[in-house]
Amino acid sequence: MPEGSVKGGFEQALLAVTCVVLFGVGIGLAVVEAFLVPLRLFGGVEGLSAVIALLGNFGVGMIGGFGTATPAGAASPAAGWFTAMATLSIFAPGGDVVIPGALPVDPGVVWVGSITLLGGLSASIVPIALTSRYTRRVNPPKGLP
């Protein structure tokens, strides 16, 4: 068996395992963000979960994308984050929901929940776009001069 095929198979397996781990990190980020929606920042400013969604999703996506040098590395945490957020946003059988749509004692939680969802999604898309541009430039398609 040629040595290159073993190395290529190992690299593909390593990439797959890395993407699975990044998917899990995305799930972890989503769970933390969802449970922090009602929490306030220092001084009573709302939005700790929104800050974590923006910075965390962007950072993990960039690390995954540039670490693996593939768009799949940047998309894996985004897929895990979106899967977990979609699951945590739906109503449970008892009428409970993790990301509240409204709280009588805290009307601002609706904005924080919305910013967390939309901001986290936007922050997940940017690393995918940047990584795909980077990999096209660094690894041009084979067969072109």
pLDDT confidence bin for 28, thresholds 50/70/90 = very high
Range scoring the smallest mean pLDDT among 26-30, 35-39, 68-72, 90-94? 90-94
Q: How far apart are CA 60 and CA 56, in angstroms?
A: 6
**Residue 26, C-beta contacts closer than 8 angstroms, at least 6 positions apart:** 57, 60, 76, 77, 78, 79, 80, 81, 82, 83, 84, 124
Question: Are the beta carbons of 80 and 30 closer than 8 angstroms?
Answer: yes
Res. 140: pLDDT tops 70: no
Predicted confidence (pLDDT) per residue in 37-86, tens digit: 877 777 666 778 888 999 999 999 999 998 998 899 999 999 999 999 98
Tokens describing residue 128: 């995918």
